[in-house]
A and B are shown apart, each in its own frame.
Chain A
Amino acid sequence: MNKTSSSQSKPDNLPKPKINWGKLEEAEKFAETVKFYRQGKINHDDFRRFRLQHGAYGSRMTDNYSMVRIKIPAGEIYPEQLEKIAQLSETCSIGSAHVSTRQNIQLHWVILEDVSEIIRGLAEVGLTSREACGNTVRNVMCSPLAGVCHDEIFDPTPYALAVAKFLLRNPLNQALPRKFKINFTCCEKHGMARIADIGLIPQTIEKDGKTHQGFKIFLGGGLGAQSFVAHQLEEFTPEEDLVYTAIAVLRIFDRMGNRENMARNRMRYLVNEMGWEKFKTLVLKERAIVRATQSVIVKLEIDKIPDALHKITVSSETSSLPPSFSRWVKSNTVKQKQNGYSSVFLTLESGDVTANQLRAIAQIAREFSAEGRVRNGFTQDIIFRWVKDDDLPRLYSKLLEIGLANPGALTMASVVGCTGTTSCNLAITNSHRLAKEIQRKFLELKLDTDDDLRDSSIKISGCPNSCGQHEIATIGFYGGGGRMGKNMYPLYAMSLGGRADGQAMLGLTCMKVPAKRVIPVILKIIEIFKSEKKPGESLNSWVHRVIDGHGGPIVKSITGIKQILQPIVTVPAVEVDMDFYADYGSDGGFHAKTGKGECAA
């Protein structure tokens, strides 16, 4: 390696977290409340509500362990915060942390008595787990490409942060009928605006010779046992109305949401039952009242001052690059709208990352990202933005050292899997491990390099509750159990054709696939596609063509696909194939055992 110039000193003026989300006293309160609970002075239900309000779920089959969900508003996380989470994962959890599909970071299998330690540690670096679970407004999401996306009209990040700040610990948001999700996105392509309770996409209009900023606001979407795509409230919502709209929607939901039936208490059911037109009218009326009756003008504190980019030393190292570099650049980086900069996506396995990797990521962010921090993405991933194009080879070699240089992040190989039976009470199958297995197979077969598959996705949930977002995947799966005689085996329902972009639609449930046949089925679908595709057609577009009834030349419809797949999903006798009856990660027989869910508590 010939190092012609480099003074890789510690970068100057490293950015610090701008907003302190934490509150130290909540740690003390939590520790004390756990003691009261253990002494029987607080009943189980009250304690559970309290625990969830502070971001701690029960774990699979036990209340003595928690999953602590750390809120990362807009996905923005700073190096010292990553380092603290690394430390907490080693001391109080399993030595790995998990990046969720909603930009949170989760620590699993934490002893209930240690949750307060985590809350304290988080507060020390300005983070919180408050209102990350329970019937509250959850983490406010923002596209990981916001601010660097070619197609965005303006950067929604300051708005996402302001809304998160306005709502955190706000009395408005402490006891909703059910959880509530707000997603900001940069453009139609890169977000999930249509599958949230409130989804927002920036837009501007020209009026009186001036440009006005505002949003397209979508309401009432969401994935779950029953999923809905959201409706757009109005053509244009000016930014001044953003907070009023949010308050109005929350107030209507708080007042009218279903508090009786746990299975139907998300806002999307209210919208569906009432009918969109009626709901829309209510929101607009409520907003007028909110606007008129706020005794003090409620304004979001929107910090639009652009962050100063800190200096990064670009090295002009010339090194012989491994052949894997170009494969990685192609599948893991995106050119930013700012000339000379790229965003780098990390391929994690089902969002899992070790403590040591988190520390290395923190160091890389300091060294390579001009914004000196990272963002969590929407697909259990982590993104470095503002990386100089010239620095990509050096960054890649750093990633190789820490085992995070896998390609495939922005391709179909980046499979989403919810936590499944690794920690969730509701899970029936080990969707988490299955996602890892599929990703490994895809990378082994170099399917990440196949342009035809690039805009397709695979997402897996361990039960029908959609935490793995299977319904917006090109190929989606949710877990269940099958039975052959006396024996049960893990099984997935497969759906095809889901998407969350401008043409958002939910996947069509197509057939049941035993867990141990999921990989062969996916590969077979790809094979069918290859023989059926028109020139230039991607898997995603082919699936939609087939769904729309324009299949061919040979496979005309979903039924045609099912017929071809049928032999693969045949159930063998237990004597012939014992492994078929065991889920990934288990040796023994499969039981569809679940505990009580807490999502609705």
Chain B
Amino acid sequence: MRCLSAEKTMQITINADSLRTQIRDKSVRVLDIRKEEDYKQSHIPSAVNLPLANLLADDGPQKVLHLTQSFGIDDETPVVVYDDTFGALASRVAWTLQYIGHDDVSLLDITYGTWKKMGLETSTEQVSFNKKTHSLKLRPEILATADYLESVKGKKDTVLIDNRERLNYLDNHIPSAINIPYRMLASPGNILRPKEELKNLVQNRNISPNGEIITYCGSVGTLSGLGYYALKSIGMENVKLYVRSFKEWKSLEKPTESQRDANYWDLSAE
């Protein structure tokens, strides 16, 4: 078994200090994935606003390419994405950019809420950038579809990970999926736990670092987007996001599995 620590140097997350340096250098494009009204109130200086809903309205490659270019991002522009939803929305956007072929994208390792709590600089200025040209080089190797899931069914080296909360998973999930609730991925301060801890999680579940992993969640690939980056952060190379997730799977009336004969919902105090 190859050691998990032999990871690529691609930076999955970036810390606040490095981002501030890059902002000062004007060498980075920062994307704020929160709602427009939140963005207007304040944001990280030089950040442009891309509410997740705007992206999800049409996340076809052409539309995403158009959006990317309109933010002044070319093939070489480093991009940093942040949100205030424990990194899940930012992850979904980062993944989408990577899918159309923009490799240099990182997640800010804290949420905007933490950024503010740390007393770091914010701005209310709404910036815009001149449109740039970006090439389109789709990376199908990071995307999983329902058909793809069917095609790898029963394959020993493929592991399907459900990033929803435990009760949802128990209730119903894609057959053979294992559960790593998204809450397991964060540490109290950061959107992702330290690598050693994440590696422990994966190793405890006997997941081979060389195998193929597909993450999914409830509907649009946000929680599982975070799951995707958690796995990438510990050097797993072959990770895919089932971006349409369980919502599509159910609507296609594909088979599901559930933990039966137990009333676990009644244990919740929610």
Q: Does B26 contact A (CB under 8 A)?
A: no
Tell whether, in the assembled complex, residue A357 and residue B264 are in contact, meaning their CB atoms are under 8 Å apart: no
Q: Is the CB of B261 within 8 A of A593?
A: yes
Decide yes or no: A117 and B200 within 8 Å by CB, A91-B183, A92-B184, A354-B270 being known contacts.
yes
By the criterion CB–CB under 8 Å, are A94 and B188 in contact? no
Rounded to whole angstroms, the CA-CA distance of A31 and B204 in the bound complex is 7
| Chain B residue with the shortest CB-CB distance to A420 | B263
Asked if A456 lies at the interface with its beta carbon under 8 angstroms from chain B, I say no
For window 164-201 of B, CB contacts with A under 8 Å fall at 165-167, 170, 178-179, 181, 183-184, 188, 200-201
Residues B262 and A422 in contact, CB atoms below 8 Å apart:
yes
Contact between A348 and B269, CB atoms less than 8 A apart? yes
B260 contacts chain A at the CB level, 8 A cutoff: yes
Q: How many residues of B contact A (CB 8 A)?
A: 27
> Is A352's beta carbon under 8 Å from chain B?
yes
Report whether A109 and B166 are in contact in the complex, using a CB–CB cutoff of 8 Å: yes
Closest B residue, CB atoms, query A106? B267
Residues A60 and B204 in contact, CB atoms below 8 Å apart: no
Once the chains are docked, how many angstroms separate the CA of A354 from the CA of B263?
Answer: 17
Complex contact B204–A108 (CB within 8 A) = no
Q: CB within 8 A of A94: which of B184, B205, B267?
A: B267
Q: Are B184 and A91 in contact (CB under 8 A)?
A: yes
Identify B166's interface contact among A31, A94, A433, A436, CB under 8 A: A94
Interface residues of A in 57-107 (CB under 8 A from B): 59-62, 65, 87, 90-96, 98
Given the known interface contacts A95-B167, A109-B166, the answer about A423 and B269 at a Cβ–Cβ threshold of 8 Å is no
Answer whether residue A586 sits at the interface, using C-beta atoms and an 8 A cutoff.
Answer: yes
Give the distance in Å from the alpha carbon of A91 to the alpha carbon of B188 in the complex.
Answer: 11
- When the two chains form their complex, are residues A95 and B165 in contact, meaning their CB atoms are under 8 A apart? yes
Which residues of the other chain, B, contact A135 by a CB distance below 8 angstroms?
none
In the complex, the chain B residue whose C-beta lies closest to that of A586 is B263
For B165, B201, B269, the residue with the greatest tally of chain A CB atoms inside 10 Å of its CB is B269
How far apart are the CA atoms of A95 and B183 in the complex, in Å? 9
A348 to B268, CA, bound (A): 12
Smallest distance from the beta carbon of A199 to chain B beta carbons, Å? 30
Within the assembled complex, what's the spacing in Å between the Cα atoms of A422 and B268?
A: 10
User: Does B129 touch A at the CB level, under 8 Å?
Assistant: no
Q: Are B264 and A423 in contact (CB under 8 A)?
A: yes
Interface presence of A585 (CB below 8 A): yes
Contact status B204-A422, CB under 8 Å:
no
Residue ID in chain A nearest B263 by CB atoms: A585
Judge if B76 is at the interface, Cβ distance under 8 Å. Answer: no
B206 at the interface (CB under 8 A from A): yes
Contact A38 B206 (CB under 8 A): yes
The answer, among A90, A96, A419, A421, for a CB contact under 8 Å with B269, is: A96
Q: Bound complex: CA of A475 vs CA of B266, how far in Å?
A: 22
Q: Which residues of B contact A430 (CB under 8 A)?
A: 263, 266
Q: Do the beta carbons of B204 and A113 come within 8 Å of each other? A: yes
Chain A residues lying within 8 Å of B263, measured Cβ to Cβ, are: 420-422, 430, 432-433, 583-586
A86 CB to nearest B CB, Å = 11
Most B CB contacts (10 A, CB to CB) among A95, A348, A432 go to A95
Contact residues in B for A422 (Cβ distance below 8 Å): 262-267
Residues of A within 8 A of B267 (CB): 94, 96, 98, 108-109, 352, 419, 422-423, 432
Q: Are A90 and B270 in contact (CB under 8 A)?
A: no
Closest A residue, CB atoms, query B186: A91
Residues of chain A within 8 A (CB-CB) of B188 are 87
A111 partner residues in chain B, CB cutoff 8 A: 178-179, 205
In the assembled complex, the CB of A522 is this many whole angstroms from the nearest CB of chain B, namely: 19
Is there a chain B Cβ closer than 8 Å to A35's Cβ?
yes
Chain A 371-401 interface 0/1 with B at a Cβ cutoff of 8 Å (1 = within): 0000000000000000000000000000000
A515 to chain B, nearest CB (A): 12
Asked if A61 meets B259 with Cβ closer than 8 Å, knowing A34-B204, A109-B264, A348-B269, the reply is yes
Query: Is residue A145 within 8 Å, beta carbon to beta carbon, of the partner chain?
Result: no
Q: B261: shortest Cβ distance to chain A, in Å?
A: 5
Asked if A353 is an interface residue, CB under 8 A from chain B, the answer is yes
B166 x A93 contact (CB < 8 A): yes
Question: Cβ of B204 and Cβ of A116 under 8 Å apart?
Answer: yes
B166 cross-chain contacts in A, Cβ below 8 A: 93-95, 109
Residue of A nearest to B193 (CB): A91
Interface contact A90-B183, CB-CB below 8 Å = yes
Q: A96 CA to B266 CA in the complex, in Å?
A: 11
What A residues does B200 contact at CB under 8 A?
31, 117
Cβ-defined partner of A349 (8 Å) among B165, B181, B269: B269
- A423 adjacent to B268 (CB under 8 Å): no
Q: Which of chain A's residues has its CB closest to B207's CB?
A: A113
12 pairs, CB–CB < 8 Å, chain A vs chain B: A61-B259, A93-B166, A95-B166, A95-B268, A98-B267, A349-B269, A419-B267, A422-B262, A422-B267, A423-B262, A423-B267, A583-B263
Task: Report which A residues bind B (CB closer than 8 A).
Answer: 31, 34-35, 38, 59-62, 65, 87, 90-96, 98, 108-109, 111, 113-114, 116-117, 348-349, 352-354, 357, 419-423, 430, 432-433, 436, 583-586, 591, 593
Report B's interface with A, CB cutoff 8 A. 165-167, 170, 178-179, 181, 183-184, 188, 200-201, 204-206, 259-270
Starting from the known contacts A109-B267, A433-B266, 4 additional A-B residue pairs (CB-CB under 8 Å) come to A62-B259, A91-B184, A94-B166, A114-B184
